[in-house]
Structure 1
Amino acid sequence: MELKVNVGCAEDAKMSEPVSPTGQYFNSSALSVSVISILEFENPIDDSSSLALINNVFLPINPRFSSIMVKDGDRGKLWKRVEVKGEDHIKVPIFPEGLSPESYDHIFNDYLSKIAMDPLPQTRPLWEIHIFKYPTSNASGSLVFKLHHALGDGFSLMGALLSCLQRADNASLPLTFPNFLKSTKQDNEIKSLMSVVPHALSVAINTVLDFGWSILKSSFLEDNQTSIRSGEEGVEFRPINIITMTFSLDQIKKIKSSLQVTINDVITGIIFLGTRLYMEATCEKEKNARTTALVLLNTRSIGGYRSVNEMVQNQEAQVQWGNQFGFLHVSLPKLNQYDQSLDPLKFVQETQNIIKRKRNSSAVYLTGMLLESVRKYRGPEATAEYIHSTLKNSSMTVSNLIGPVEKMTLANQPVKGLYFMVVNVPQVPLFISCICLILSLTVTIMSYMDQLRVAVGTEKGLIDPEKFRKCTERAFSIMYNAAVLDK
Structure 2
Amino acid sequence: MSIENDEPLSPAGRLFVQPATHQIINCALGLDQPLGFDAARTVVSNSLMIKHSRFSSILVTDDHGREHWRKIGLDIDRHIILRSDPVGEGDNDEAAVNDYLADLTVSSPLNTDKPLWEIHLLSAHKCVVMRIHHALGDGISLMSLMLTLTRKLDDPEQTPTIEPLVSSTRNRRELGALEKIIKVLKMIWYSLIYVFEFIMRGVWVKDGKTVIRGGEGVELWPRKLATVKFRLEDMKTVKNAVTKATINDVLFGVISLGLSKYLGNRSSNSLQEGLQITGVALVNLRPSPGLQDIKELMKKNAGSGSGWGNKVGIMLLPVYYHRNGSDPLDYLKRAKMMIDRKKLSMEAFLSHQIGYFVMKFFGPKVASLLNYRVVCNTSFTISNVVGPREEITIAGIPVTYMRTTSSSLSHAITMHMVSYSGQADMQILVAKDLIPEPENLAKCFEDALLEMKEASVRK
Task: Establish whether TM, by shorter chain, passes 0.5.
Answer: yes
1:85 aligns with 2:70: no
1:251 aligns with 2:251: no
Task: Specify the code of the residue in structure 1 equivalent to 2:351.
Answer: T
Tell me how far 1:286 sits from its aligned partner. 3.4
Using the alignment, how far apart are the partners of 1:481 and 1:179 within structure 2?
A: 29
Tell me how far 1:172 sits from its aligned partner. 2.3
Task: Specify the code of the residue in structure 2 equivalent to 1:462.
Answer: L
1:29 aligns with 2:31: no
1:447 aligns with 2:419: yes
1:238 aligns with 2:221: yes
1:431 match: none
Deviations 1:4-54 (A, max 9, x none): x332xxxxx33x211111111110233211100000001232332222222
2:102 match: 113
Is the Cα–Cα contact under 8 Å of residues 60 and 312 in structure 1 kept in the other structure? no
Using the alignment, how far apart are the partners of 1:27 and 1:100 within structure 2?
A: 30
Task: Specify the code of the residue in structure 1 equivalent to 2:97.
Answer: F
Using the alignment, how far apart are the partners of 1:374 and 1:315 within structure 2?
A: 25
**Cα distance, 1:286–1:87 mapped onto 2, change above 3 Å:** farther
2:136 match: 151
Using the alignment, how far apart are the partners of 2:449 and 2:377 within structure 1?
A: 28
2:147 match: 162
1:264 aligns with 2:248: yes
Is the Cα–Cα contact under 8 Å of residues 36 and 121 in structure 2 kept in the other structure? no
Is the Cα–Cα contact under 8 Å of residues 30 and 400 in structure 2 kept in the other structure? yes
Tell me how far 1:67 sits from its aligned partner. 0.7
Q: How does 1:27-66 map to 2 (within 5 A)?
A: 27-57=17-47, 59-66=49-56
1:198 aligns with 2:187: no
Tell me how far 1:447 sits from its aligned partner. 0.9
Tell me how far 1:239 sits from its aligned partner. 1.8
Tell me how far 1:186 sits from its aligned partner. 8.8
Aligned to 2:404, what secondary structure does the other structure show? strand
Deviations 1:158-178 (A, max 9, x none): 111111110011122342233
Using the alignment, how far apart are the partners of 2:104 and 2:399 within structure 1?
A: 22
Question: How many residues are paired up?
Answer: 453
Tell me how far 1:101 sits from its aligned partner. 7.7
Which runs of 5 or more structure 1 residues have no equivalent in the other structure? 8-12, 136-140, 425-435
Using the alignment, how far apart are the partners of 1:156 and 1:403 within structure 2?
A: 11
Task: Specify the code of the residue in structure 1 equivalent to 2:9.
Answer: V
Is the Cα–Cα contact under 8 Å of residues 251 and 480 in structure 1 kept in the other structure? yes
Q: How does 1:167-246 map to 2 (within 5 A)?
A: 167-184=152-169, 188-190=173-175, 192-231=176-215, 233-246=216-229
Task: Specify the code of the residue in structure 2 equivalent to 1:123.
Answer: D
Is the Cα–Cα contact under 8 Å of residues 312 and 352 in structure 2 kept in the other structure? no
Aligned to 1:150, what secondary structure does the other structure show? helix
1:292 aligns with 2:278: yes
Aligned to 1:462, what secondary structure does the other structure show? coil
Tell me how far 1:309 sits from its aligned partner. 4.3
Is the Cα–Cα contact under 8 Å of residues 49 and 148 in structure 2 kept in the other structure? no
Q: 1:483 aligns with which of 452, 456, 459?
A: 456
**Cα distance, 1:134–1:302 mapped onto 2, change above 3 Å:** closer
1:403 match: 387
Aligned to 2:33, what secondary structure does the other structure show? coil
Tell me how far 1:74 sits from its aligned partner. 4.6
1:6 aligns with 2:10: no
Using the alignment, how far apart are the partners of 2:50 and 2:119 within structure 1?
A: 16
Using the alignment, how far apart are the partners of 1:21 and 1:72 within structure 2?
A: 16
After superposition, the CA RMSD in angstroms is 2.4
Task: Specify the code of the residue in structure 2 equivalent to 1:246.
Answer: K
1:322 match: 309
Normalised to the residue count of structure 2, the TM-score between the two structures is 0.92
Q: How does 1:405-484 map to 2 (within 5 A)?
A: 405-424=389-408, 436=409, 438-463=410-435, 464-484=437-457
Using the alignment, how far apart are the partners of 2:301 and 2:120 within structure 1?
A: 31
Normalised to the residue count of structure 1, the TM-score between the two structures is 0.87
Q: 1:355 aligns with which of 325, 339, 348?
A: 339
**Cα distance, 1:251–1:107 mapped onto 2, change above 3 Å:** closer
Tell me how far 1:334 sits from its aligned partner. 3.1
Aligned to 1:134, what secondary structure does the other structure show? helix
Is the Cα–Cα contact under 8 Å of residues 419 and 446 in structure 1 kept in the other structure? yes
Tell me how far 1:405 sits from its aligned partner. 1.2
Using the alignment, how far apart are the partners of 1:315 and 1:103 within structure 2?
A: 43
Using the alignment, how far apart are the partners of 1:305 and 1:72 within structure 2?
A: 34
Q: 1:283 aligns with which of 262, 267, 270?
A: 267
Is the Cα–Cα contact under 8 Å of residues 59 and 66 in structure 1 kept in the other structure? no
Using the alignment, how far apart are the partners of 1:376 and 1:210 within structure 2?
A: 23
Tell me how far 1:400 sits from its aligned partner. 0.5
Q: How does 1:366-385 map to 2 (within 5 A)?
A: 366-385=350-369
Is the Cα–Cα contact under 8 Å of residues 41 and 414 in structure 1 kept in the other structure? yes
Which runs of 5 or more structure 2 residues have no equivalent in the other structure? none
